[in-house]
Structure 1
């Protein structure tokens, strides 16, 4: 069956998900036995893939959908499940299945922001857009501007454009689709390579980028969440769930974590102490008492799986699930025992949690635990860092001005017509603004002293020069603020080489996904072309905002020996490999043998970046200017 036909049959599964469509699909009275036991989480409730009972049911559904023997059987199961399974759980499970079924290759998931716009657009904006549509002829488009969710009385308001960015929240949602916490290779037949390390690195980069954004806006770097009894800053998302017309719970300033019936605050503290203890001892233990060393090669992956905690956790009963339950407890602050039947806060949902400032503080706390492990590893040697016979002569950024990147705000539109049946032919669109940057190109001059061609990996990072007080940031601190910008391979001919790489080719980012209308018109990737899997950092957020005076950043470039980096043929098929740095290559080995974040993932033995540089490295000061 052509990909276009499959796409046409899958798209209706995601339209009007909040509505009952049993008549449209002809729902059977008798359900397939594979769906027996589903429907525990009632419709109209907020689904959370952090909450263990929800995730257990979602896992049952996506495993049933993935194991369906034919594409037709898969669709039939989706149609049957749609109107009795919880709306969010259904969308999550079907999305996981579409991404992993071999017969769905080439099929693109519709943008989540068009399926559930209420996860991204304030409730008052949606309400006013609907009201406006009643006053305009039904064949005309309605375009309504998105309203702001705060004001300058809250210092964190300066970062609202970033935390509430649609692209960055969709990225987080999709990452957890590609790497479900409950993924079982023995059931699905697919191993998720270095999944625990990816969990660590992707979230670590989120924190580094958030701190760069804070410095760009004149705010201090965030204080990690570290005291489970501490009062927190307040937050209100202004989101209203369309499945029950209730707002996501807000958090008043001064709130503290509370016990829920399923998990106590003391459980989080106990799990933290056990994890820190294991790091200090240099090993973890399984249920039988067998010790597994936290070595240089696999230790970070073991800890990432354990902290999340995923199905691959070494000893879930003992080390717990500190990450997931932390999200649940933050979301339940207003109604911990559900006596008021409120919606949870945005921290419960992977598509909304990045809106809350506490998300970043929570993940910096998790990052701090993993940093303790990284501190235990020896410093990289010059042999590990070097590349014999390769020297970077110069590096620059080519844009309108050399070594200067301009950022600015631009407007975009979101069509919400496919989520709500408004009984009109004209579209209803929400106009919103987001940060963006001018296109630019890296130009790197490299000299190969050898007589043969050398295969190399180019690694590019960006890090701020000054801290919030205007002081130079030392290399020890700089490591944690370094954001990966790109990683790609090149062939170095003997003698001089000029490497040019466009910012739009970044291994970190993806371009905007195709809309539901575009997919319906057949605008999708061909079966044999690079597949678009929606996982990746949004291209418009590749560069930090900078400031109006011109904020200085280190542009760090490093070339490493591809022979030491390569992992065979894996990662070369082009399947979902457009944003490998944070998302890996779909269902293959991670296409880089080095530790994620190399060379900044470990402690260094120099205070200043310039003293640490080897000939295969370069550091250039560039400016990011915000208009």
Structure 2
């Protein structure tokens, strides 16, 4: 069976799930392997963070993964579709498709078309359904998206970022590639540096969010820090079509409360135990043995503890600070369930980024990681230098050199695959985008021999919200990775050029249901598309109308020391390798993620910090509304 034929068999599994009836396939008619699932009721919002939800999802995706062949897999998936919770089904089947060898080359359909109600305001979906009922032809109907707030709420200034369909879809797909419950001994595949990737991808999202806040003249976010603090309000304007209930709003002034499954005091206890481990330099495993938090594996171990994933060395003792934090915040309006309300958007990876508290809570989590990073020795010049290699100059080639233009662009999202309609209905929405550009990096190699280099490119704001120059040790946490790639340096002078569209953190575009049905993206090679990656249109922060000052940081390191295996750049699903890793392979860089900004910097500015293989270049990002 060809990849195209397998793709055609899988797509119907993901269509019109919101329209399914609640009736389930009786237990005695199910395949015996599916008899233990179906506990989470249909019509309930599945949470990627809730422990009981995850246990059932784990049981399902492990059964699907273990199916003896593709036909057996389809048989099990089709039965499961009529048994399990709708959201849980998509989560588990997506994991199985991404990791089964006989699904190599098959693409999981875009979550925004599977469940458009997680991305599109309820008001807009209501308009779309009414327009579909009144249709007089088979032509596609286009509905403009409704706004979810106004200028009375200062946070609405960055709604374009929080509600961006691409970044919310990325967050969903990242947790599909790196599920919390992944068991290597069952799945027979190791997720290399999974805990560190959890830290880095979320740290980068927080850095990007603060860049957007500075772009819109907002102060940088205040991290969540107190489990009893009064929380800001938030209204998501989303309605779940599978339940008929709204995603809950959060009135201003509520604070975390105990749930039946976990207490706020548990959260405080877990935080203190993790901080004690960081300050002591070791964690306790399940047998009570001390496991050192060394510079090579320490952060990876902490990531597993904080999330907490299956790889946590001691889940009973260190708990699940990140996951339960999401659940408690999502249920802050109805903690004991007395009103039978839906949870808020924090309960799900495909909606959580819409809520401002997501970023503040993840900055709180990141501050714990930074506490560990501060305990590590500072990088010395020998750790940073690349002998014989000097970056002479760096230019961003755009319409105006070193000036990147951003703007709002219109796109459309098809609703008819996720919602049962008489014909095609599309939602028209605007999102941030930028003009294409290339990096031009002048390098001098005086070593007398060919050098292989890893080129690392970061971008960070130069001034804070008050117009003060940000000191480098503070600025390092706001540098966002734009690219990382390999370059060959001949002896003498070399000009390295690289397109913004080839970034190692982004995916260019997501194939639609229509693309997949036509077979336009079928790929029989190793360059498989896994849907995980930051959207290309959000690579660059918004900037402002005047032209906001940023610094572009370029660093070259020795690729022969950085690479982890055979000298190849061919990895499976490596479109956005910096944030998503290489599926079923080692992370292709020995350096710490975020290097060299991952550790504390004692130098006050670039001049004191930089070695010859680095460059800080002033650029401007100008937002134009056209």
Tell me if TM exceeds 0.5: yes
The match for 2:16 is 16
Matched-pair contact (CA < 8 Å) for 1:99–1:105: yes
Q: Matched residue of 2:9: which SS?
A: helix
Matched-pair contact (CA < 8 Å) for 1:525–1:532: no
The yes-or-no answer on 1:525 pairing with 2:525 is: no
Q: Matched residue of 1:180: which SS?
A: coil
The match for 1:4 is 4
Change in CA separation of 1:369 and 1:570 when aligned onto 2, cut-off 3 Å: farther
Shift, 1:20, TM fit? 2.8
Shift, 1:418, TM fit? 1.0
Give the TM-score normalised by the residue count of structure 1: 0.98
CA distance in 1, matches of 2:592, 2:481: 13
The match for 1:493 is 490
Change in CA separation of 1:427 and 1:296 when aligned onto 2, cut-off 3 Å: same
CA distance in 1, matches of 2:605, 2:13: 55
Mean CA deviation greater in 116-125 or 560-569: 560-569
The match for 1:51 is 50
The yes-or-no answer on 1:419 pairing with 2:389 is: no
Change in CA separation of 1:497 and 1:206 when aligned onto 2, cut-off 3 Å: same
Shift, 1:440, TM fit? 0.3
Q: Matched residue of 2:302: which SS?
A: helix
Q: Matched residue of 1:487: which SS?
A: strand
CA distance in 2, matches of 1:350, 1:571: 33
Shift, 1:578, TM fit? 1.0
Cα displacement string for residues 349-373 of structure 1 (whole angstroms, at most 9, x for unaligned residues): 0000000000000000000001000
The match for 2:501 is 504
Give the TM-score normalised by the residue count of structure 2: 0.98
Q: Matched residue of 2:18: which SS?
A: coil
**2:590 aligned to which of 575, 588, 593:** 593
After TM superposition, the structure 1 = structure 2 runs for residues 456-495 of structure 1, keeping only pairs within 5 Å, are: 456-495=453-492
Change in CA separation of 1:338 and 1:581 when aligned onto 2, cut-off 3 Å: same
The yes-or-no answer on 1:125 pairing with 2:92 is: no
The match for 2:540 is 543
The match for 2:558 is 561
Matched-pair contact (CA < 8 Å) for 1:570–1:589: no
Cα displacement string for residues 428-468 of structure 1 (whole angstroms, at most 9, x for unaligned residues): 00001100000000000001002210011000000000000
The yes-or-no answer on 1:580 pairing with 2:596 is: no
The match for 2:336 is 337
CA distance in 2, matches of 1:47, 1:81: 15
The match for 2:604 is 607
Cα displacement string for residues 544-601 of structure 1 (whole angstroms, at most 9, x for unaligned residues): 0000000010000000011220101287333101100000011100000000000000
CA distance in 2, matches of 1:28, 1:320: 34
CA distance in 1, matches of 2:323, 2:305: 11
Cα displacement string for residues 358-415 of structure 1 (whole angstroms, at most 9, x for unaligned residues): 0000000000001000000001111110000000110010000000000000110000
Q: Matched residue of 1:240: which SS?
A: coil
The yes-or-no answer on 1:113 pairing with 2:112 is: yes
CA distance in 2, matches of 1:256, 1:61: 35
CA distance in 1, matches of 2:20, 2:273: 47
The match for 2:152 is 153
Q: Matched residue of 2:17: which SS?
A: coil
Cα displacement string for residues 507-528 of structure 1 (whole angstroms, at most 9, x for unaligned residues): 0000111110111011113211
- Is there any run of 5+ residues in structure 1 with no aligned partner, and where? none
Q: Matched residue of 1:247: which SS?
A: coil
Matched-pair contact (CA < 8 Å) for 1:571–1:591: no
The match for 2:189 is 190
Matched-pair contact (CA < 8 Å) for 2:563–2:588: yes
Q: Matched residue of 1:183: which SS?
A: coil
Q: Matched residue of 1:405: which SS?
A: strand
CA distance in 2, matches of 1:17, 1:449: 61
CA distance in 2, matches of 1:605, 1:165: 36
Matched-pair contact (CA < 8 Å) for 1:508–1:536: yes
Mean CA deviation greater in 512-521 or 319-328: 512-521
Matched-pair contact (CA < 8 Å) for 1:390–1:447: yes
Tell me the matched-pair count: 624
CA distance in 2, matches of 1:21, 1:13: 15
CA distance in 2, matches of 1:20, 1:45: 13
